[in-house]
Amino acid sequence: MRRVVVTGMGALTPIGNNLHEYWNGLREGVSGSDLIRNFDATLFKTRFACELKGYNPENHFDRKEARKMDLYAQYAHIAADEAIRDSGLDLNTVDKDRVGVIWSSGIGGIETFTSEIKGFVTGDGTPRFNPFFIPKMISDIAGGLLSIKYGFRGPNFSTVSACASSTHALIDAFTYIMIGKADIFISGGSEAAINEPGLGGFNAMQALSTNNAEYKTASRPFDKTRDGFVMGEGGGALIVEEYEHAVARGARIYAELVGTGLTADAYHLTAPHPEGLGARNVMKQAVDQAGLKLSDVDYINVHGTATPLGDISETKAIATLFGEHANKLNISATKSMTGHLLGAAGAIEAIAAILAVYHDIVPPTINFRVPDPEIDQNINITPNKAQARIVNVALSNTFGFGGHNASVVFKKP
């Protein structure tokens, strides 16, 4: 089986509009949460989210091009463009038959769907729809547009597994390179669901924090006062490449992707397994495939959504699987800063884990004040401030509604 490395990354997040800004925001413990500005959220139970800051499509696309893409697809292009530049790929010489795109979104073009339906129901009943309605809405179109833009003719599809979507995309890219289907993939995810139905739907599920009085610190994983996740938006892209191919072109290698895990809770529509069974299994599977010992893991970027049940389940899984070593590693929930990017969460959190390996710095879990007695206090959650330590091996977890679990392991090359 061929080895797989990460040679480029791009990020568009609520705490930074590029990779450099994102990493600085993570290290400094910046909160991306603020009152919602893109629509009137006055009547909603939750009136805040982690929106992108200062996003203007006209800074990236001409007006005609932007009208053909939902926001989630725009975010995909921006992140992928940065990742390609960061990788140093020469698009004039690369074999485009050997380059693929596996992109993901948990929801896809919900903003487009919302605006088109609004237009129909408030009109005179005549069915007038934008000819780009369906292409803008479907969740596979971002990957298709990327392949068209760059002429990449390798494998191209979209993965959808709720909040685990972009980790599954990364796992598929890893697998296809290992077995020789391609040499390079653009892999990642994007999401743009901070709108009326997105916010209202998650409110109806009672999944979101409603702490409007303290919106800046409302995303508080592991804290006893946590009351749900904070929505985020944006995208993350990774250039995943076969090792020998990367070496031959003199590419910078951020980290090697060495192990993956895929499991299901088989338990509940939205709630995690109470003992973290699926989470435990998926982490073990990823570490086993990497050929590592559990004691080799230095850092886990946890799913850590700040939901009452989810944080308990995941920390139980870590304590049970890692045993005494659980007290020697660091974990952190970067959703405390970015909010929950849904289908894009796995991509930006994989990037956080890779940068922890690359820089030997563990980003923090911010907004932590009150310990929860149901969470093992011996586990180092990296509270409130980044910590410097040697990170040879990092694990990144993502779990989705429906019981979908995915984990990836990165190590120093």
pLDDT in tens, 186-242: 999 999 999 999 999 999 999 999 999 999 999 999 999 999 999 999 999 999 999
pTM: 0.97
Q: Any idea which residues carry the catalytic annotation?
A: 163, 303, 340
Quick check: 6 and 255 in contact, CB under 8 A? Answer: yes
Rounded CA separation 396/320 (Å): 17
C-alpha dist (Å) from residue 73 to 19, 95, 129, 189, 233: 18, 25, 19, 9, 12
Closest CA to 179 of 6, 408, 2: 2
- What CATH number does the domain containing 303 carry? 3.40.47.10
Give the CA radius of gyration of the chain: 20
The DSSP line for 115-140 is HHHHHHHTTTS-----TTHHHHHSTT
Which tokens go with 295? 């004691």
Which tokens go with 13? 């997040």
166-175 per-position pLDDT tens digit:
999 999 999 9
Q: What are phi and psi of 263, to 5 degrees?
A: -145, 175
Which tokens go with 55? 């996003």
Strand-pair category, 234-242 with 255-264: unpaired
pLDDT at residue 1, as a whole number: 84
Domains of the chain: total: 1
- Structural domain range at position 323: 1-413
| pLDDT, the chain, mean | 97
pLDDT at residue 401, as a whole number: 95
Quick check: 276 and 376 in contact, CB under 8 A? Answer: no
Give 40: exposed, middle or buried? Use CB within 10 Å, 0-12, 13-18, 19+: exposed
Beta strands in 47-110 (DSSP E): 48-49, 99-104
Mean pLDDT of 313-331: 97
Q: Is the pLDDT of residue 124 over 90?
A: no
Residues in contact with 63: Cβ distance below 8 Å, sequence separation at least 6, in sequence order = none
